[in-house]
């Protein structure tokens, strides 16, 4: 550590109260920003859970569909037309719908039912118990073992329930990449069984899942689907459409941005004011350094070193506190959706840099105007 930086460090930590206040201000701001944005990231991932878990590269849907959970039925000819399009390797139907099941204790529980193509079972989950072939057995269903699993009385292989006066039997227990958003258990079965057990309108195909022959065929398939009067979206585009709906059409995104901005302003006001007060209280020391020959750039370097050290220390403490809280919350609440992503870290880091820059700018302007003669005369 260079001498000027060592001196800046000693000046900073010498006043324990001010140094602690600086750290706490930035730590609290980072903690709030990370907590809010992590919660939002978790909600967005769970909102697109069906797209992620099924994993199809291309989805065909009604043009009015805005989220994966609000599907609009399509007639059977759409599936036939898509299968005949150039560039399509194969295409299968997918049913996505809600239902109410009656458990053995007489209680009712809402569930999400995914009906997979009877021939290929395309989009099937990985099983941790049972065999996927058993889904073809009479009344066979596969249940997802996620945070909502206990709402179905922790079913085992052979557990039974009623769905619209039809008997259902658990033939497999599956795991998926991410749980759903609404706290509802998920069941998989065949497409034909799903539309047979659950009351539906005339059109029952929720989505057509397409496997293109090559990625270069995707634009051509999209054009053909558009000409048919429907819409084709890649996995990433469909996820983004769903996320945009929650951000811009539900108010969730605006609320998150407001809370993040408030966290930023809290950190900026506390840290900026405390750091500026710290500089004022040490003005005589900076004046003395200037009087004995310290150049302006040396004083600027000291202030930038102090601001950077404080900002990044507070950033690390804030991120660590948020990660610890999320980890503890998930141990106690399996359905808790928050998750730390690279984007969350970058947003918080950028805001911390802004806080440090604004605090440094105000302090630098004050220090550079020091007149050593006035300090010594006082």
DSSP 39-104: HHHHHHHHHTHHHHHH--SEEEE-TT--STTS---B-HHHHHHHHTSTTEEEEEEEEEEEEEEE-T
- Please state, in angstroms and rounded to a whole number, the distance separating the CA atoms of residues 34 and 347: 8
Given a cut of 90, is residue 136 above it in pLDDT?
Answer: yes
- pLDDT tens per residue across span 241-251: 988 888 888 77
- Please state, in angstroms and rounded to a whole number, the distance separating the CA atoms of residues 274 and 3: 25
Least confident of 5-14, 161-170, 339-348: 5-14
Question: Average pLDDT of 132-141?
Answer: 92
Count of residues making up the chain? 378
- Please state, in angstroms and rounded to a whole number, the distance separating the CA atoms of residues 182 and 335: 10
- Please state, in angstroms and rounded to a whole number, the distance separating the CA atoms of residues 283 and 310: 19
Categorize the per-residue pLDDT at 375 as very low, low, confident or very high, splitting at 50, 70 and 90: low
User: What are the domain boundaries of the chain?
Assistant: 3-46+251-377, 75-229
- pLDDT tens per residue across span 257-303: 787 778 777 767 777 777 777 777 777 777 777 777 777 788 788 88
Given a cut of 60, is residue 1 above it in pLDDT?
Answer: no
Going by C-alpha positions, the residue among 49, 79, 31, 289 that lies closest to residue 184 is 49
Given a cut of 60, is residue 346 above it in pLDDT?
Answer: yes
Question: Average pLDDT of 122-144?
Answer: 92
- Please state, in angstroms and rounded to a whole number, the distance separating the CA atoms of residues 43 and 338: 7
What's the chain's average pLDDT? 85
pLDDT at 366: 75
pLDDT at 172: 94
Least confident of 185-194, 268-277, 295-304, 349-358: 268-277
pLDDT at 212: 95
For residues 130 and 157, is the Cβ–Cβ distance under 8 A?
yes
Given a cut of 80, is residue 74 above it in pLDDT?
Answer: yes
Given a cut of 70, is residue 377 above it in pLDDT?
Answer: no
Map 108-146 to HEC letters. EEEEEEEEECCCCCCCCCEEEEECHHHHHCCCEEEEECC
* Centroid of chain to Cα 236: 14
327 Cβ contact partners less than 8 Å away, ≥ 6 residues apart: none
Question: Average pLDDT of 78-90?
Answer: 94
Question: Average pLDDT of 167-176?
Answer: 94
Question: Average pLDDT of 167-190?
Answer: 90
Going by C-alpha positions, the residue among 5, 15, 4 that lies closest to residue 282 is 15
């Amino acid at each position: 550590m260079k001498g000027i930086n060592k001196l800046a460090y000693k000046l900073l930590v010498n006043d324990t109260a001010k140094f602690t206040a600086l750290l706490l201000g930035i730590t609290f701001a980072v903690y709030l920003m990370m907590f809010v944005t992590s919660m939002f990231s978790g909600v967005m991932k769970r909102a697109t859970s069906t797209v992620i878990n099924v994993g199809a590269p291309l989805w065909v849907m009604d043009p009015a569909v805005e989220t994966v959970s609000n599907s609009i039925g399509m007639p059977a000819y759409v599936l036939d037309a898509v299968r005949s399009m150039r560039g399509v390797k194969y295409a299968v139907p997918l049913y996505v719908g809600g239902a109410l099941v009656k458990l053995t204790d007489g209680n009712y529980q809402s569930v999400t039912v995914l009906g997979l193509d009877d021939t290929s079972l395309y989009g099937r989950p990985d099983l941790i118990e049972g065999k996927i072939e058993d889904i073809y057995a009479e009344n066979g269903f596969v249940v997802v073992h996620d945070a909502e699993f206990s709402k179905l009385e922790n079913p085992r292989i052979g557990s039974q329930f009623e769905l619209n006066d039809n008997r259902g039997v658990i033939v497999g227990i599956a795991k998926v990449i991410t749980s759903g958003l609404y706290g509802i258990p998920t069941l998989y079965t065949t497409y034909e069984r799903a539309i047979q057990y659950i009351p539906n309108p005339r059109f029952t195909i929720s989505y057509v899942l397409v496997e293109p022959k090559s990625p270069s065929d995707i634009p051509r398939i999209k054009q053909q689907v558009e000409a048919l009067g429907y819409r084709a979206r890649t996995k990433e585009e469909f996820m983004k459409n769903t996320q945009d709906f929650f951000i811009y059409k539900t108010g969730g995104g605006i609320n998150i941005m407001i809370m993040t901005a408030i966290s930023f302003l809290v950190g900026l006001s506390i840290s900026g004011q405390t750091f500026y007060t710290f500089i004022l209280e040490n003005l005589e020391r900076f004046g003395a350094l200037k009087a004995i020959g310290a150049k302006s750039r040396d004083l600027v370097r000291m202030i930038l070193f102090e601001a950077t050290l404080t900002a990044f220390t507070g950033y690390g403490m804030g991120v660590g506190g948020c990660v610890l809280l999320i980890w503890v919350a998930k141990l106690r609440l399996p359905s808790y959706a928050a998750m730390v992503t690279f984007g969350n870290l970058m947003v918080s880091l950028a805001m911390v840099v802004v806080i440090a820059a604004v605090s440094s700018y105000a302090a630098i302007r004050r220090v550079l105007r020091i007149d050593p003669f006035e300090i010594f005369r006082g």
